[in-house]
Amino acid sequence: ICFLLMQMRLRLELLQVDEQSADVAHSFHLGESRFQMLQMLGDHMQELLREQNSLRQRLMRPLAHTNLPVHAHLHRFVVESLNLMMDFIETLEEKLSSAHSRTTDSSHAQLLMQASEMETLSSQILQWKSVDGCSLVTSDP
């Protein structure tokens, strides 16, 4: 009986070892298909790097024919329109900054008002504590 128990324990241990190492010894991990899949992934990554380099080089090159020729008699109008655009941008920036400062000023005023309210409330609480403390001291005899 003892011999049979030992055999069963050995078989159980062998099955446990097989179960633990089954995923590593699987043909998928050791076979040629896994190597081919890794090779395909490596080729794909190299192709992406090549495309990225070519794309980077294309983006760094200046675009050809992006400036439009302007006839000499229209130069004055181009300069005037650029001045108008610059004035528009400046006034837009001024209006945005004034709107931002208005909201900042109003929120600052609200914060000051709430701070003063908190100060008055805290002084009232301190007064109540001092009154309660005095009444407790005098009522002890």
pLDDT by residue, tens only, the chain of 141 residues: 788 888 888 999 988 887 777 665 566 556 667 778 878 888 888 888 888 877 777 777 766 666 667 788 888 888 899 899 999 999 999 988 888 887 777 888 888 888 899 999 988 988 888 887 656 555 544
Alpha-carbon distance of 16 to 20, in angstroms, equals 6
Report the Cα 79 to chain-centroid distance in Å: 42
Provide the residue type at 13 as one letter: E
Buried/exposed 16-36: b ≥16 CB within 10 Å, e otherwise: eeeeeeeeeeeeeeeeeeeee
- How far is the C-alpha of 49 from the C-alpha of 43, rounded, in Å? 10
> What pLDDT score was predicted for residue 85?
93
Are the C-beta atoms of 70 and 78 separated by less than 8 Å? yes
What pLDDT does residue 87 have? 92
Amino acid 65: pLDDT: 60
The whole-number pLDDT of residue 80 equals 92
State the pLDDT at residue 88: 92
Residue-level pLDDT at 41: 86
What is the secondary structure of 3-49 as a DSSP string? Answer: HHHHHHHHHHHHHHHHHHHTTTSSHHHHSHHHHHHHHHHHHHHHHHH
Instruction: State the Cα–Cα distance between residues 139 and 110, nearest whole angstrom.
Output: 43
Q: Interior CA angle at 45 toward 55 and 33, to 5°?
A: 155
Token digits for 15?
A: 């099955």
Which sequence spans correspond to the domains of the chain? 87-127
